[in-house]
Amino acid sequence: MTARLLEASGVTVRFGGLIAVNAINFHVEKDEIVGLIGPNGAGKTTFFNAISGFRYPDGGAVSFKGVNILGLKPHKISRMGMSRTFQIVKPFPEMSVLDNVMMGAFSVHKAAKDARLAAMQALELVKFSHWAHRRAGDLPVAGRKRLEVAKVLACDPELILLDEVMAGLTPSEHNEMIEAVRNIRTSGVTVVIIEHVMPVIMNLCDRIYVLHHGELICEGAPDKVIRDPEVVRAYLGEDFAL
Ligand SMILES: Nc1ncnc2c1ncn2[C@@H]1O[C@H](COP(=O)(O)OP(=O)(O)O)[C@@H](O)[C@H]1O
Ligand SMILES: [Mg+2]
């Protein structure tokens, strides 16, 4: 049997007395788009940190392509093929969009020529190559989010973890990002996405995990998850309708 692309079991993170992530089992198969949702403070970003090398978990195991990655530094994990975005996006404002994306590409490409090519391909994938030579500091929010996605794509990943890349975007910008994420999957990159915008999640995801107070309260196909009474109570609300 071939190994799952990502497999996390029993992942736990504590901050003092707070259990921010409690014994979470989570897996991703190649070519899936998997959603991770839940109220603010549920532990979503902390879970990303724990599986991508930014925070050593207090318990559990994480493997990527069948290899134990617990304890590896983020750049090592990125070189193995898993890269993530950050919720707070901070590009270098004086540099061009292309140069910012190349900063990501240099983590896996040594030669500037290769980094540049990877950066241009990443910008094309998120339909942003027309901005390549503009100052990153001039980008509106939607553009900064796309830059961030391009930056992780330029690391030649097999799996990307997107943390609220659609927050603050307009509905038409949501549609552009949905298309961009679909293009990313078609290009052979598997996606895990943290997002609050439910139509986006429902539209994109093959499977969804729901966290609440650090606990996994539901996992499954979108239509199952939105009907789950505990998900409605904890997150969606009784009035929820798409
Ligand atoms: N570095 C930290 N130190 C202490 N508490 C933290 C830290 N990071 C997150 N937390 C707490 O852990 C919980 C989960 O936070 P987070 O993972 O950011 O949630 P989400 O991304 O789902 O909104 C929250 O209660 C938050 O206050
Ligand atoms: Mg978060």
Can you tell me whether residue 144 is helix, strand or coil? helix
Residue 165 lies in a domain: yes
Residue 242 lies in a domain: no
Say if residues 52 and 161 touch (Cβ distance below 8 Å): yes
- Rounded to a whole number of angstroms, the distance between the first and last alpha carbons of the chain is 38
By alpha-carbon position, which residue is closest to atom 5 of ligand 1? 15
User: On the CB side of 225, how many CA atoms lie within 13 Å of its CA?
Assistant: 26
Ligand nearest the Cα atom of residue 41: 1
The closest of 79, 119, 80 to 97, measured between CA atoms, is 119
Q: Where is average pLDDT lowest: 7-11, 85-89, 125-129, 230-234? A: 85-89
Residue 174 lies in a domain: yes
Residue 153 pLDDT = 95
Residue 42 lies in a domain: yes
Q: Report, as an integer, the average pLDDT of 188-200.
A: 95
Q: Decide which of 140 and 12 is more confident.
A: 12
- Neighbouring residues of 161: CB distance < 8 A, sequence distance ≥ 6: 48, 51, 52, 82, 83, 84, 85, 192, 193, 194
Q: Decide which of 138 and 242 is more confident.
A: 138
Q: Tens of pLDDT along 117-136?
A: 999 999 999 999 999 999 99
pLDDT above 80 (res 142): yes
Residue 1 pLDDT = 63
Instruction: Tell me the pTM.
Output: 0.94
CATH number, domain of 172, equals: 3.40.50.300
Residue 136 lies in a domain: yes
Q: What backbone phi and psi angles, to 5 degrees, belong to 100?
A: -60, -45
pLDDT, averaged across the chain: 94
Q: How confident is the model at residue 3 (pLDDT cuts 50, 70, 90)?
A: confident
Q: Report, as an integer, the average pLDDT of 143-156.
A: 93
d(CA 231, ligand 1 centre) in Å? 20
Residue 10 lies in a domain: yes
d(CA 38, ligand 1 centre) in Å? 13
d(CA 117, ligand 1 centre) in Å? 37
When divided into structural domains, the chain yields a total of 1
Residue 89 pLDDT = 76
The closest of 211, 233, 219 to 48, measured between CA atoms, is 211
Residue 25 lies in a domain: yes
Question: The domain containing residue 225 runs over which residues?
Answer: 6-236
The closest of 151, 132, 28 to 83, measured between CA atoms, is 151
Instruction: Ligand 1: list residues with CB < 6 Å.
Output: 15, 18, 20, 38, 40-46
